Amino acid sequence: MDVRKIDETIGKFLAENYTPERVEQLADRFFHKGVVKFDESARLVPAEIMTAVQAEADRLIDAHKERRDLLLRTTGNTPRKMSVVKSEDIEQSELIRTIATSESFLGFLGRIAREPIIPQVSTDERYLITHQELTADTHGWHWGDYSFALIWALRMPPISCGGMLQAVPHTHWDKSNPRINETLCERQIDTHGLVSGDLYLQRTDTTLHRTVPLTEDGAARTILNMTWAGERDLDKPLIGNDRWWENPEAKAAQAVK
């Protein structure tokens, strides 16, 4: 794939497939639910780009994956059980880097967010690949330090094996007192089924979310996360020493077997 043409290709695809009225509908959903999914009925990128990203993620997993099994104090000791590919390794992919900084792409997603989406985050947050493949693998309840993430559902298990996204929008993260169980008792949990090839845009700093634990070994779940900022994030300090994907020995992380 000619990466020099990606911005043009994405821009043309979006212009042909989304009317202003449809974008407004998606923006309304994003505001209320904190999540907008793009599936077989409404794709976000052409099939050839999705295929190329899937192949690139498989290559990066084979070369760079690291296992994480830990609990995180700043999210109430919720678990992280998965393999990861860190941002610094993904950053070497010209394909992924070009998509994540495409003006056509970010401009379209900004219309759904109703604000500018800015590709200016800490270097360890720009990208993350997670790969779950063992029984009980999960990305436990959490928020994001930055406002926006686009998740590429590259490989999804059958819903009967878990792996769905669960989300609670319009919530607040206090790292010293996360109150996750109290929030889950007080609020409705939305559950979103996914199949391979779906994407979803998420407001990550105010949407409490997790992946439902896998129920079978080999029921693989692989995602690519692209993280972006809102203007509110640009001067926000990163606190908590909880960057577990980058450093499994971060102060807020506790290893588990």
Per-residue pLDDT tens over the stretch 149-167 = 999 999 999 999 999 999 9
Rg of the Cα trace of the chain? 17
For residue 35, what are the CA distances in angstroms to 31, 71, 129, 183, 188?
8, 25, 19, 18, 14
Tens digits of residue pLDDT in 51-93: 999 999 999 999 999 999 999 999 999 999 999 999 999 999 9
- State residue 4's pLDDT score: 86
Q: Which amino acid is at 77?
A: N
* Global model pTM greater than 0.85: yes
Query: Longest C-alpha distance within the chain, in Å?
Result: 50
% of the chain at pLDDT higher than 70: 100
How much is the mean pLDDT over the chain?
97
Q: Is the pLDDT of residue 3 over 90?
A: no
Mean pLDDT over 24-48 rounds to 97
